[in-house]
Amino acid sequence: MPPKKNVSTPSSTSAAPSAAVATPISTPQTSHNVPSSNPISILEGIFKNYSQSTPQRTKLIDAFLGFLVITGVLQFVYCVVAGNYPFNAFLAGFSATVGQFVLTASLRIQSNPANKSEFASVSPERAFADFVFCSIILHLFCTNFIN
Amino acid sequence: MSSLEVLLKDESTRNIRRLLKVVILITIAGAAVSSRLFSVILDPWFNFRASKYLVKNGFYNFWDWFDDRTWHPLGRVTGGTLYPGLMVTSGAIYHILRMLSMPVDIRNICVLLAPAFSGLTALATYLFTKEMKDESAGLLAAAFIGIAPGYISRSVAGSYDNEAIAIFLLMFTFYLWIKALKDGSAFWGALCALFYFYMVAAWGGYVFITNMIPLHAFVLVLMGRYSPRLYVAYTSWFALGTLGSMQIPFVGFLPIRSSEHMAALGVFGLLQIVGFVEFVRDQVPSRQFKTLLKALIFIVFALSSAVLVLLTVSGVIAPWSGRFYSLWDTGYAKIHIPIIASVSEHQPTAWPAFFFDLEMLIWLFPAGIYMCFSTLQDQHVFVIIYGIMASYFAGVMVRLMLTLTPVVCVSAAIALSNILDVYLSIKTPAAPTAGAPSVNERKEKKPRVNILSAGKDSIVGVYSKASKIAVIAAFSIYLFVFVLHCTWVTSNAYSSPSVVLASRMPDGSQHIIDDYREAYYWLRKNTPDDAKIMSWWDYGYQIGGMADRTTLVDNNTWNNTHIATVGKAMSAREEVAYPILRQHDVDYVLVIFGGLLGYSGDDINKFLWMIRIAEGVWPDEVKERDFFTPHGEYRVDDGATDTMKNSLMYKMSYYNYQSLFPAGQAQDRVRNAKLPAVGPTLSILDEAFTSENWIVRIYKVKDLDNLGRDHLSAAAFDAGKKKSKRTKANKGSQRKLRVV
Amino acid sequence: MRFFAPIVGFLSLASTLLPTVLADSKVSKFTSLTAGSKLKGIVRLTDALYTEFTSAPRNYSAVVLLTALDQRFSCALCQEFQPEYELLAKSWVAKHKSSDGLFFGELDFADAKATFQKLQLTTAPILYLFPPSTGDNVDVAHIETPYQFDFTQYGVPAEAVAHFISQHTSHTPPVVRPFDYVKFGTMAGGVLVAIAVLSIAFSIIKPIIYSRNLWAAISLIAVLLFTSGHMFNHIRHVPYVVNDGRGGVSYVAPGFSNQFGLETQIVAVLYALLAFATISLAMKAPRIEDPTGQKAAILIWNAVLLVGFSFLMSLFKQKNGGYPFFLPPLF
C-alpha cells in the first residue's frame, strides 16, 4: 500500500518545478547581511532568510526531516532508558529512521534548484522516483530484519 | 582487435561503431570464457556439495542445514557459517534454466559458473573503465581482464569458489559507485548497495569494498571536493548497503560492532556534518559564523573519534578481526593465528609472481596511475586509491593478487589507450609554422591539462608517420607476447586443479599424477559409509566431497581447538595419540607424503604448522622446540630428534618406506635426506592403503586389543612370534593394494 | 638400643624437618638479599649462590636469568631483555615486600664462568624457572631440570615472561610499566609544537599538501615498491645480496618464490623506467612542437621501452627456467 500512496504524490510535484524554479531564482544568494554578531540576531536572520527563500514543497520535506530527527532521538532515548532487548528490532527501527532521513535529505538536495548544475542528469521527478525506489528497498530490508 | 576498434573510432557512422563495440565485447567475453576451459575438473567440493543440498532441499532447509559429516563429533551449522551467495546463484540459475525447460545438471552449472562470470567481469570492467576514460580504454580493459592470469587463476572452469563470482561483483559495485557519484543519483546508489549486498553474501572480501568507498569519500572531502552528489551517493549506498549486509546471518551485527566497518560509519557521520554545514553556509553568508562552524566540525569529529576509541577499548566494538589485522601488522599472524599464517596463499608475494600474473600490465599500471593524476576527477581519485591499497595487499598476501588484477587492467588500459589515441590518429599536424595544431578535443575538456610536468603546451600531435608506425608496431608486439604469455601461464600453471598434479618428464612430456583421486576413490569403495577419517584440514573438503566420508576438520577452519586436537594427535607419540583417536571415533588416518616423488606440499612440510597450532592450545604437551635439533634444524634423517621420530606423523609418513630401497639407501626426495636404516614401527595403526606414488597413505586405527594388552606390547608379541611370516605377508598385501 | 631410640627419633624428625628448616633459612637469606640488592628485586648470583639458590630443598619458585651483559660478548638479546627482566622483578617486589615465595636471580657470565661451563651453556640469555621442590603440589619432573623460557618464540616482553611463570607456578606476577612522564611530555609538547608550526606555516605548506606532483610521486613510489615485492623483503627479512660462493656476489635469488633486496630494487627501477617511457610517449612526445626533436624523442623512448622490457623478460627467465618467451635484443 505505501508505495501506491507515494506514487500518487508525484502528480502534484510535477506541477512544482515551474513554481520551484520561479521563486528561488529571485532569492538565491541575495540573503540578508547580518551585521551584528549577536547570536540571537544571527539565528533570527537565518530563520527569516529560510522562511522567505524556501519553497513550500521544500519546507514540507524539512518538516518530515524534523519529524525523523525527533523519532530517531526518541528511539535512541528509549534504547538507553529501557534497554535494547530485541536488538534486531531496535536496530531495524533506528536504521529505518536514519536511512529515511538521509534519503529524504538527498531528495531535498537534489530537488534544490540551487544545485541544478551539480545534478545535470537528475530532474526533480527523477529524484522523487529515486527516493521512492530507495525507500521501498530500505523498508523491505527493515521488515525482513525485524523478524 | 582493440586497436582496430580505435582505428574505426574516427569514422562517423555511429551505428556501425556501436555494433562493432558489441561484437568486440562479445568476442572478449567469449575469449575470457574459452581461455578458462583448458581442463575441467570440479575442485572445491564443499561448495558443490552445499549447492546440491540447496537444489535438493530448498532454500529454507539450506539456511538451517546442520552438517554432521564434517567436524566430527561437533558437526557444523553450515547455513549460518558460510557466505551463501555462490550456492544461491547457481541454485537460481538451475531453477531458471529449468523453467526455460532446459534441464541442466547442477554439476555442469557449478563447473561453468566461474568462466561465465568472468565474461560478466569483462563487461563490468568495460563499464568501469568507460567511466574513467572512454570506450576504447574500456574495451582494452575488458580484454585485459579477460585473459590476465591473475584473474584466470581463480576462475578456470571447475574452480567453483566464492572468488569466482566475487570479482564480478567487486567490479560492478565499484562501477555503480562511480556512476552514483558522477550523477549524484540515489538510484545508482541503491543499485550499488544491492550489489554490495550480493557481494557480502558471496565473499568475505566484501570488507575491501566496505573500506574502499568510505576511503574514497573521505579523500574527496579532504581534497575539498565535497559535493552534494557525494552526499547523495554515499548516504544512499551506506544506509541501504549496511542494512542489507546485516541480513546475512554470518555477518549479522558485525557492521555496527566490528572495527573494520567503523570507517564507513565514521565517514557517514562526517558527511552528515559536512552536508549540514554546507547547508547552513548557503543560508548564512557571515564569515565569522563559518569559522565558528569549522571549529564545530573539528570538535564533533574529534569527539566522535574519541568515543569510538573508548567504545573499542571498553569492548563494545570488537577490535579488528585477526585476519584483517594481519594485513597491517605483518608479523602478527605468525604469532597469534598460525592457522592463517600456515596457508600458502597467505604468504607474501615475491616480484616474479606479479610478473607471472600480469606481465606487461605491471609496468603499464604505474603509467596509468600517473595519467589518472593528470586528469584528476573524482573517479580518478578512486582508481588511484584502489591501485595503491590493492598493490599493498597483493604484496602482503599472494591471494589478494586477485583484487589487484582488476585495477591493474583498468589502469593499464588507460595508459595504453592514451598511447593508441596519440599514435593511431590518422591526422598529421601541419608543419609547426602553421600555428594552429590540431588539438585533440577530448584533451581540451580536461580541467587542467598537463599540470604534471608534461610540458605546458597543448597537444600538437605526431608529425612523422614512421614514428607512429614504430610505436604501434612495438606495442603490437608487446600485446602479442602478452597474449602468448597469458595462454602459456593458463595452460601450464592454472589449469590443473589441486587434486591432480602435473609433472614434466625429462623428455618434456606431461605426466599426470592422480594419487589423490585414486585414494579418495579407494576410501569411497572400501570403507564403511560412516567411517571417520582424520587428516590435516587441507584435505577435509576433498575427502568430504570425493570420498563422501565424515572428516574431523576441513577447510572451513572455524574451530581452532578442534584443528589443534588433530595437530596434537599427529605430533604426539602413539600411546598419547591413541586415546585421542578413540575419543573422536577415528577409523582411518590419512597423510600426504611426497618423499618418493619429491612433492613438496606434503604433510611433513606442513607438520611444523600442525605443531604450532597444537602448541597454541596445549603449550605444555606439544613443543615446537622438541622437533628441532639442538642446532635448530628441522630434520627427518638420522639426526632427527626423538620427539620427531616418535611422532605419529613421522611414523605414518615413513612406515615401510625403507622397504622400497636397498638397505640403508632410503631417500626422501623432498627434504633431500637419507633416512635411518631402520624404519619406524607402528603399533596402533595398520597400513590400509598407499597410492601409486605414495602420495596418499591411509592407515586404519586398530581396535582395542581383545586380550586387554596395550598395542605396543601386543605388537612386540606378534613381532616375536611371526617375524618372518609378517614381513612376507606385508609385502604381499601391499602388492595387492597397488592393483586396487 | 634404648639410648639410640631418642636419637633415631630425633634423626628421623630431623630428616623431615631439616629440609624445611634449610629451605626456610634460604628463604630468609634470599629475601634479605633481594631487599639489599642494587638491582631492585633481583638477587645478583655468583657460582656458589647459584647452586644454593637452585638446589633441591626449595619451598619457593626461583627464576634465574643467565646472561652476558658485558659489551665484549655483544649479546643484543641480553641487553634487550635486561630492562624487561628488571621491570618484572621490580613489579613483583613492589607488590610483595617479602618476596612471597618467588625470587628473581641473575647470573652474569662475567661473575660465574664456572656455572656456564658446568651447565654446558654456549648461548645467552637463558631463563630458567625452578618450581618449589617441597610443599603441596610438587612438580616432580622439574625438581632438578628447570623449565626454560623460549626467547625465540615469545620474544622479550616482560608480560610473556610473567605469563610463562604463571603457567608453571601458582604465582601470577604483575607487570606494572611505569608511566613514562618524560616520553608523554615530549610527545605532547611535540604535538603542540607541530600544530603551532603547521598553523603558522599553513599558507606555505598548503600548496605542498595540495601539490598534485607530490601526491603523484608518493603514489607512484608506493605502487612501484609494492609491486616489486618490497613487502616480501620486509616480512621475510631477505638478504640484500648474497655471496655466490665463488667470490662474487649474486644479485638474483634462484627460484620463483624467492628474491634478494637488490633484485627487487632493480625490478622497481625497471618498472619505473618502463612506466616513464610510456608516459613520455603518450603525453610528452605529442606536445613537442619541433618535428625532428619529436621524432628523436619518440625513437629514443621507444628504444628504451624495448630494451627495458627485454631485460625484464630475461630477468624473469632467470627466475623461471621454463619460461619460453623473450624479446630482442636480450635473450
Backbone angles phi, psi at B501, to 5 degrees: -105, 135
Compute CA B690 distance to the chain's CA centroid, rounded to the nearest angstrom. Answer: 32
Would you say residue C128 has pLDDT above 50?
yes
pLDDT range class, residue C187, cuts 50, 70, 90:
confident
B695 in C contact zone (CB under 8 Å)? no
Distance (Å) from the alpha carbon of C71 to chain B's nearest alpha carbon: 25
Is C213 in Cβ contact with B462 (below 8 Å)?
Answer: no
Q: What is the pLDDT of residue C8?
A: 55
Cell representation of residue B330: 605483518
* Best residue of B467, B476, B491, B623 to probe chain C, by most C CBs closer than 10 Å: B467
Is B231 in Cβ contact with A106 (below 8 Å)?
Answer: yes
Would you say residue C241 has pLDDT above 60?
yes
State which residue of chain B sits closest to C286, comparing Cα positions. Answer: B461
Q: What is the pLDDT of residue A8?
A: 37
Would you say residue C251 has pLDDT above 70?
yes
Instruction: Give me the sign of the Cα torsion angle B84, B89, B92, B94.
Output: negative
Q: Give the residue, B171 or C101, on which the prediction is more confident.
A: B171
Would you say residue B457 has pLDDT above 70?
no
Residue with cell 522523487: A128
pLDDT range class, residue B91, cuts 50, 70, 90:
very high
Residues 265 through 324 of chain C touching chain B, CB cutoff 8 Å: 267, 270-272, 274-276, 278-279, 281-291, 294-295, 298-299, 302, 305-306, 309, 312, 316, 319-320, 322, 324
Q: What is the pLDDT of residue B449?
A: 41
Distance (Å) from the alpha carbon of B363 to chain C's nearest alpha carbon: 5
Would you say residue C97 has pLDDT above 70?
yes
Instruction: Give me the sign of the Cα torsion angle C34, C40, C42, C46.
Output: negative
Sequence-distant (≥ 6) Cβ neighbours of residue B285 within 8 angstroms: A29, A31, A33
What CATH topology corresponds to C18-168? Glutaredoxin (3.40.30)
3-state secondary structure of B707: coil
B194 in A contact zone (CB under 8 Å)? yes
Residues 231 through 250 of chain C touching chain B, CB cutoff 8 Å: 231-232, 234-236
Chain C contact set for B455 (CB, 8 A): 284, 287-288
Q: What is the pLDDT of residue B720?
A: 64
Q: What is the pLDDT of residue B175?
A: 96
Averaged pLDDT, A4-14: 37
Is B394 in Cβ contact with C275 (below 8 Å)?
Answer: no
**Which contacts of C76-83 are long-range, i.e. CB under 8 A and separated by 24 or more positions?**
C77/C124, C77/C125, C77/C151, C77/C156, C78/C124, C78/C125, C80/C156, C81/C125, C81/C151, C81/C156
pLDDT range class, residue A6, cuts 50, 70, 90:
very low
CA distances from B337 to A68, B342, C141, C242, C251 (A): 45, 9, 31, 32, 34
Is B275 in Cβ contact with A122 (below 8 Å)?
Answer: no
State which residue of chain A sits closest to B246, comparing Cα positions. Answer: A145
Q: Give the residue, A56 or B330, on which the prediction is more confident.
A: A56
Q: What is the pLDDT of residue C38?
A: 73
Q: What is the pLDDT of residue C2?
A: 52
Q: What is the pLDDT of residue B729?
A: 43
Would you say residue A16 has pLDDT above 50?
no
Chain C contact set for B478 (CB, 8 A): 309
Is B477 in Cβ contact with C223 (below 8 Å)?
Answer: no
A117 in a structural domain: yes
Q: What is the pLDDT of residue B368?
A: 94
Chain B contact set for C322 (CB, 8 A): 492, 504
List chains touching C (3+ CB pairs under 8 A): B
* Best residue of C212, C260, C278, C330 to probe chain B, by most B CBs closer than 10 Å: C278
The count of structural domains within chain A is 1
A125 in B contact zone (CB under 8 Å)? no
What CATH topology corresponds to B513-719? Rossmann fold (3.40.50)
Best mean pLDDT range from B366-375, C39-48, C72-81: B366-375
- Per-residue pLDDT tens over the stretch B501-540: 666 666 656 677 788 888 888 998 999 988 889 998 888 8
Is A134 in Cβ contact with B286 (below 8 Å)?
Answer: no
The CA distance from A92 to B246, in Å, is: 10
Averaged pLDDT, A115-141: 88
pLDDT range class, residue C21, cuts 50, 70, 90:
low
Chain B contact set for C271 (CB, 8 A): 362-363, 366
Would you say residue B32 has pLDDT above 50?
yes
Query: How much is the mean pLDDT over chain C?
Result: 81
Q: What is the pLDDT of residue B725?
A: 45
Best mean pLDDT range from B243-247, C3-7, C43-47: B243-247
User: What burial letters (b/e) apply to B634-673, b meaning 16+ CB within 10 Å?
Assistant: bbbeeebbebbbbbbbbbbbbbbbbeeeeeeebbbebbeb
pLDDT range class, residue A18, cuts 50, 70, 90:
very low
The CA distance from C147 to B632, in Å, is: 19
- Per-residue pLDDT tens over the stretch B356-394: 999 899 999 999 999 999 888 899 999 999 999 999 989
Residue with cell 624437618: C17
Averaged pLDDT, C55-75: 81
- Per-residue pLDDT tens over the stretch C129-158: 888 877 766 777 777 778 888 777 677 778
Is C327 in Cβ contact with B460 (below 8 Å)?
Answer: no
Is A95 in Cβ contact with B240 (below 8 Å)?
Answer: no
Least confident of B259-263, B273-277, B732-736: B732-736
Chain B contact set for A130 (CB, 8 A): 185-187, 190
Sequence-distant (≥ 6) Cβ neighbours of residue B736 within 8 angstroms: none
Q: Give the residue, B542 or B508, on which the prediction is more confident.
A: B542
Chain C contact set for B454 (CB, 8 A): 279, 283-284, 287
Is A142 in Cβ contact with B186 (below 8 Å)?
Answer: no
Of B371, B452, B620, the CB nearest to C212: B452
Q: Are B619 and C167 in contact (CB under 8 A)?
A: yes
Q: Are B516 and B693 in contact (CB under 8 A)?
A: no
Backbone angles phi, psi at C243, to 5 degrees: -65, 130
Q: What is the pLDDT of residue B388?
A: 94
Q: Are strands C61-67 and B588-592 parallel, antiparallel or unpaired?
A: unpaired
pLDDT range class, residue B328, cuts 50, 70, 90:
low
Distance (Å) from the alpha carbon of A119 to chain B's nearest alpha carbon: 6
Cell representation of residue C205: 605548506
In eight-state DSSP terms, residue C64 is E
Q: What is the pLDDT of residue B329?
A: 66
Instruction: Give percent of chain A with pLDDT exceeding 90.
Output: 27
State which residue of chain B sits closest to A30, comparing Cα positions. Answer: B285
Would you say residue B439 has pLDDT above 90?
no
Averaged pLDDT, A9-24: 37
Q: What residue type is assigned to position B224 of the chain?
A: G
pLDDT range class, residue A11, cuts 50, 70, 90:
very low
- Per-residue pLDDT tens over the stretch B575-623: 888 988 888 889 999 999 988 888 877 888 888 888 888 888 888 788 8
pLDDT range class, residue B6, cuts 50, 70, 90:
low
Q: Are B151 and B35 in contact (CB under 8 A)?
A: no
Would you say residue A36 has pLDDT above 80?
no
Is B394 in Cβ contact with C226 (below 8 Å)?
Answer: yes
ipTM above 0.90, yes or no: no
Task: Verify A-C touch: 3 or more CB pairs within 8 A.
Answer: no
Q: What is the pLDDT of residue B432?
A: 54
Q: Are C286 and B459 in contact (CB under 8 A)?
A: yes
Q: What is the pLDDT of residue C270?
A: 94
Residues 127 through 186 of chain B touching chain A, CB cutoff 8 Å: 183-186
Q: Give the residue, B691 or A13, on which the prediction is more confident.
A: B691
Q: Give the relative orientation of helices A56-82 and A87-111 as an angle to the nearest 10 degrees.
A: 160
List chains touching A (3+ CB pairs under 8 A): B
Would you say residue B1 has pLDDT above 60?
no
A95 in a structural domain: yes
Would you say residue A68 has pLDDT above 90?
yes
Sequence-distant (≥ 6) Cβ neighbours of residue B165 within 8 angstroms: B85, B86, B89, B113, B114, B117, B202, B203
Instruction: Give percent of chain B with pLDDT exceeding 70.
Output: 81
A145 in B contact zone (CB under 8 Å)? yes
Sequence-distant (≥ 6) Cβ neighbours of residue B619 within 8 angstroms: C167
A131 in a structural domain: yes
**Which contacts of B437-442 are long-range, i.e. CB under 8 A and separated by 24 or more positions?**
B437/B461, B437/C289, B442/B134
Q: Are B655 and B649 in contact (CB under 8 A)?
A: no
Q: What is the pLDDT of residue A30?
A: 39
Would you say residue B444 has pLDDT above 50?
no
CB atoms within 10 A of CB B149: 22
Distance (Å) from the alpha carbon of A147 to chain B's nearest alpha carbon: 11
- With 0.80 as the threshold, say if the pTM is over it: no
State which residue of chain A sits closest to B247, comparing Cα positions. Answer: A145
Of A49, A99, A118, the CB nearest to B228: A118
What count of Cα atoms within 13 Å lies in the side-chain half-sphere of residue B28?
A: 29
Q: What is the pLDDT of residue B62?
A: 84
- Per-residue pLDDT tens over the stretch B52-82: 888 888 888 888 888 877 787 777 777 777 8
Chain A contact set for B231 (CB, 8 A): 105-106, 109
Of B391, B455, B478, the CB nearest to C227: B391
Would you say residue B638 has pLDDT above 70?
yes
- Per-residue pLDDT tens over the stretch B268-297: 988 988 888 888 777 766 666 666 777 777
- Per-residue pLDDT tens over the stretch C253-307: 877 778 888 999 999 999 999 999 999 999 888 888 888 888 899 999 999 999 9
Chain A contact set for B190 (CB, 8 A): 130, 133-134, 137
Chain B contact set for C226 (CB, 8 A): 388, 391-392, 394-395
Of B367, B392, B457, the CB nearest to C279: B367
Q: What is the pLDDT of residue B473?
A: 93
C202 in B contact zone (CB under 8 Å)? no
State which residue of chain B sits closest to A99, comparing Cα positions. Answer: B239
- Per-residue pLDDT tens over the stretch C297-319: 999 999 999 999 999 999 998 88
A44 in a structural domain: no
Range of the domain at A72: 53-146
Is A103 in Cβ contact with B239 (below 8 Å)?
Answer: yes
Q: What is the pLDDT of residue C15?
A: 54
pLDDT range class, residue B399, cuts 50, 70, 90:
confident
The CA distance from C61 to B434, in Å, is: 95
Is A103 in Cβ contact with B283 (below 8 Å)?
Answer: no
Q: Where are chain B's structural domains?
A: 161-318, 513-719
